[in-house]
Amino acid sequence: MQAKRTIFPNKLLPYLLLAPQLAVTLVFFIWPAAQAVKSSFEREDPFGFRTTFIWFENYQRLFADPGYVNALWVTGVFAISVTLFSMSLSLVLAVAVNRVLRTNRIYTTLLVWPYAVAPVVVGILWWFMFNPTIGIAPYLLRGLGIGWNHRVNGEQAMLLVIIAASWKQISYNFLFFVAGLQSVPQSLSEAAAIDGAGPMKRFWTIIFPLLSPTSFFLLIVNINYAMFDTFGIIDATTSGGPGQATNILVYKVYADGFLGLNIGSSAAQSVVLMLIVIALTVVQFRYVERRVQY
Amino acid sequence: MVRLSLAALTIALTSTTAFAQTEISWWHAMDAELGQKLEAIAQGFNESQDEFVVVPTYKGGYAETLTAAIAAFRANEQPAIVQVFEVGTGTMMAAEGAVYPVYQLMTDNDQPWDPSAFLEPVTGYYSDTEGNILSMPFNSSTPIMYYNKDVFEAAGLDPETPPRTWAELEEMSRTIMEAGAAPCGFTTGWVSWVQLENLSAIHDQPYGTLENGFGGLGTEFTFNGEVQTQHWENLKAWADEGLFQYGGPVGGADAPPKFYAGECAMYMNSSASRAGVIANATDFEVGFAPLPYYDDAIAEPKNSIIGGATLWVLNGKDEAVYDGVAQFFTYLSSPEVQAEWHQATGYLPITNAAYELGQEQGYYGENPGSEVAIEQITRGEPSANSKGIRFGNLTQVRTVIDEEFEALLAGNKTAQEALDAAVERGNQILRDFEAANS
């Protein structure tokens, strides 16, 4: 079949039609991004009276700063943990719901609820439950002989934000996994069952590989989520503390730029983040979209 | 219903009359009860004359308000008045082109201006090296100690005798815990402000070189001295023993509930926490006391230093607006307005006249403990070390101090290591500030 081509006789019209989209991209993406790149090469007082062009000094200092190296490390631990934790748990839930025939709609509805909660509210909820002074969880844990104080203990703080961030993301992953599971043809599974494969074997050799497009898509989405959308949770639950134990890159941009008024360093950090997003997007389009077998 | 529609009508009427008036925008960081009180002051001024109308706007916390004002200034949308907390003082002072110094504003607009009318610790903190006051003192506080009299009684201690020194505080905390009167001795808000900045001032220890930063930009921190290190070492030991519980970084959000719930018997925080303490400590009696000190380090403790905020006037507005700002400041510092603000909030009375008015009204006699803060901040002769501190980027430095304190509590560092690291990192922040402002 021959592809149809629409021909615009007017040379101006296509540009006019594209203009709104281009304007939005220009104003809301290109311009601020260019500003950030410009600021990252400058040193400036907060009010903008004195601006000095300092080449790469902001970047050099950034990577020489143990606090930034720590933030990179913390972000890595956080993003990987949240991704693994929320994806594996939602896969288990999705498989379970897929087996229940009669009430699966109710389960699905209930499991989707956390996704509707705003990140800051999630942070407050978990902050409240695990508050060392007034929270119910530390009280119960004390009964088990575990002292909980994420205000001092960095590992507990990390654990808390991982749980909070994963909890919020489980709904999203769950929905995609349920959809993915429902598109796996029942006949393949049944054929394997006739050949004598048990439920575990059927899952790992047939269903799981067929879910790979969904899984790869979710992997990228989850890493993105953990790295960039968890600001509200971190801010409300731990504020990056104690002692920078939960200071992820996005939070550090905010803390240094908005609270510390160090615009140059903050801009340099956001440029680094921008590069990470670009890298992730490239991976998604080049690798995931093309190589994963559907 | 009738009252509601009446209120709506009044608002409608006042806003129509306000049409011809010069508007003065005032960005502030006071929420809840404090915010209402602040709005009442603005309303009081608006009703006292019909030329100007002050419009207060809540902009979030102190740090957010400062950031918002700076961003607005860069976009030429700045308010006439902005409330900036004391740690932002260094930043504002360095921004000479952005600020209309208040002493100049008052003389330019023929308003009465007498720096000696203000409390000395307040003026000292907000003056430049020539002694000119750059921003309008508004809400200044100083940390004091609150204690639970019922717990003291249950532990067999005299509820009218709070600990005077840290040694007594340690002893009493232990007694309280051993008697089972409370599970914790004491907690604190604002570790950086109370347990380091004020600790240094009270014990006459330098916080930084060049008169604690008053002398200019080329300063270095010196808060890793013997007294401070000993104190942090003690705090760590007390935390391990359970006598002291940490309330969290920055303001210490977990500290007040610990005190309100009767978990910790004593609680150190701003004098402006008074309103909250009284509102929340419903099932026990509260006592007020000065901060404890080490009697082996200093025989007569020096004055504590202030916190809170002042009002800065920003450049770039019409002359008419500044005329209104100057008149508003005169209203604001009148003894009646100040005394009411001070008594309702626990902030210090910023003028001597407001303090005297409170004494005449018999306020301090009727409200025991309300005078503790003002007595503590005005005691003795202020030294170079107790005049206050002034450093650029102090918000960041305080974050560093919190982080190092948490490292100490987690057992990752000794007190000496934590304070040395805080000094080193703090100095780096000062050099950044210096480089950006020179």
- Residue A1 pLDDT: 46
B76 to chain A: closest CA residue: A47
- Residue A197 pLDDT: 86
Is residue B417 within 8 angstroms of chain A, CB to CB? no
- Residue B417 pLDDT: 96
Closest CA of chain A from B157, distance in Å: 25
Is residue A258 within 8 angstroms of chain B, CB to CB? yes
**Which residues from chain B sit within 8 angstroms of residue A132, using beta carbons?**
254
Question: Which of B66, B263, B410 has its CB closest to that of A133?
Answer: B263
Q: CB distance A48–B436 less than 8 Å? A: no
Q: CB distance A46–B257 less than 8 Å? A: no
Question: Which of A47, A149, A154 has its CB closest to that of B73?
Answer: A47
Residues 319-378 of B with CB under 8 A from A: none
**Measured distance CA(A52)–CA(A46) in Å, rounded:** 13
- Residue A101 pLDDT: 64
Is residue A89 within 8 angstroms of chain B, CB to CB? no
- Residue A220 pLDDT: 87
What torsion do the CA atoms of B94, B96, B97, B103 make, to the nearest 10 degrees?
140
**Measured distance CA(B162)–CA(B139) in Å, rounded:** 27
- Residue B2 pLDDT: 45
- Residue A290 pLDDT: 65
Full pLDDT tens readout for chain A, 294 residues: 456 666 767 888 888 999 999 999 999 999 999 999 999 999 888 888 888 898 899 999 899 988 899 999 999 999 999 999 999 999 999 988 887 767 778 888 888 888 888 888 888 898 889 988 778 998 899 888 888 888 888 899 999 999 999 999 999 999 999 989 988 888 888 898 899 888 888 888 888 888 988 898 899 889 989 998 899 999 988 888 788 899 999 999 998 888 878 888 999 999 999 999 888 888 887 876 666 554
Task: Give first-to-last CA distance, chain B, whole Å.
Answer: 61
- Residue B130 pLDDT: 80
Residues near A4 by beta carbon (within 8 Å), at least 6 away in sequence = none
Is residue A154 within 8 angstroms of chain B, CB to CB? yes
Neighbours of B124 (CB within 10 A): 18
Alpha carbon B20 to chain centroid, angstroms: 37
**CA proximity to A188, closest of A171, A205, A169:** A205
Q: Which residue has the tokens 């402006």?
A: B272
| β-bridge partners, B82 | B27, B312
- Residue A3 pLDDT: 60
Alpha carbon A60 to chain centroid, angstroms: 27
Return the HEC string of chain B. CHHHHHHHHHHHHHHHHHHHCEEEEEEECCCHHHHHHHHHHHHHHHHHCCCEEEEEEECCCHHHHHHHHHHHHHCCCCCCEEEEEHHHHHHHHHCHHHECCHHHHHHHCCCCCCHHHECHHHHHHHECCCCCECCEEEEEECEEEEEEHHHHHHCCCCCCCCCCEHHHHHHHHHHHHHCCCCCEEEEECCHHHHHHHHHHHHCCCCCEHHHHCCCCCCCCECCCCHHHHHHHHHHHHHHHHCCEEECCCCCCCCHHHHHHCCCEEEEEEEHHHHHHHHHHCCCCCEEEECCCECCCCCCCCCCCCCEEEEEEEECCCCHHHHHHHHHHHHHHCCHHHHHHHHHHHCCCCCEHHHHHHHHHHCHHHHCCCCCHHHHHHHCCCCCCCCCCCCCCCHHHHHHHHHHHHHHHHCCCCCHHHHHHHHHHHHHHHHHHHHHHCC
**CA proximity to B96, closest of A257, A50, A274:** A50
A244 to chain B: closest CA residue: B403
Whole-angstrom CA distances from A182 to A84, A178, A188 are 22, 6, 13
Please list, residue by residue across A161-185, b when 16 or more beta carbons sit within 10 angstroms of its beta carbon and e when fewer do: bbbbbbbbbbbbbbbbbbebbeebe
Is residue B183 within 8 angstroms of chain A, CB to CB? no
Q: CB distance A242–B98 less than 8 Å? A: no
- Residue A292 pLDDT: 59
**Which residues from chain A sit within 8 angstroms of residue B249, using beta carbons?**
151, 239, 241-242
Is residue A44 within 8 angstroms of chain B, CB to CB? yes
Which residue of A51, A120, A261, A263 is the best one to mutate when testing the B interface, meaning the one whose CB has the most B CBs within 10 A? A261
Is residue B140 within 8 angstroms of chain A, CB to CB? no
Is residue A134 within 8 angstroms of chain B, CB to CB? yes
Is residue A131 within 8 angstroms of chain B, CB to CB? yes
Q: CB distance A46–B254 less than 8 Å? A: no
Q: CB distance A47–B97 less than 8 Å? A: yes
Q: CB distance A49–B263 less than 8 Å? A: no
- On whether the CB atoms of residues B390 and B430 are closer than 8 A, the answer is no
**Measured distance CA(A46)–CA(A55) in Å, rounded:** 19
Q: CB distance A44–B97 less than 8 Å? A: no
Question: Which of A133, A241, A261 has its CB closest to that of B91?
Answer: A261
Closest CA of chain A from B410, distance in Å: 6
Q: CB distance B403–A44 less than 8 Å? A: no
Which residue of A43, A133, A142, A239 is the best one to mutate when testing the B interface, meaning the one whose CB has the most B CBs within 10 A? A133
Is residue A66 within 8 angstroms of chain B, CB to CB? no
Inter-chain contacts counted by CB atoms under 8 A, chains A and B: 90
Q: What is the DSSP letter of A43?
A: E
**How many Å is the Cα radius of gyration of chain B?**
22
Is residue A49 within 8 angstroms of chain B, CB to CB? yes
Whole-angstrom CA distances from B224 to A244, B244, B428 are 21, 21, 15
Is residue B280 within 8 angstroms of chain A, CB to CB? no
**Measured distance CA(A160)–CA(A154) in Å, rounded:** 10
> Does the model's ipTM exceed the 0.85 cut?
no
Question: Which of A47, A151, A242 has its CB closest to that of B70?
Answer: A47
Q: CB distance B406–A133 less than 8 Å? A: no
Q: What is the DSSP letter of A242?
A: S
What torsion do the CA atoms of A237, B398, A247, A158 make, to the nearest 10 degrees?
-50
pLDDT under 70 in chain B at which residues? 1-19
DSSP-derived 3-state class of residue A44: strand
**Measured distance CA(B257)–CA(B183) in Å, rounded:** 14
Is residue B72 within 8 angstroms of chain A, CB to CB? no
DSSP-derived 3-state class of residue A57: helix
Cα angle value B233/A157/B88 (rounded, 5°): 65
Q: Which residue has the tokens 């290190």?
A: B229
Closest CA of chain B from A83, distance in Å: 28
**CA proximity to B327, closest of B82, B48, B94, B129:** B48
Q: Which residue has the tokens 């009684």?
A: B153
Ramachandran area for residue A145 (φ above 0: left; ψ -120 to 50: alpha; else beta): left
Q: CB distance A259–B395 less than 8 Å? A: yes
**Measured distance CA(A219)–CA(A224) in Å, rounded:** 9
Residue A53 parent element (H or E): strand A51-53
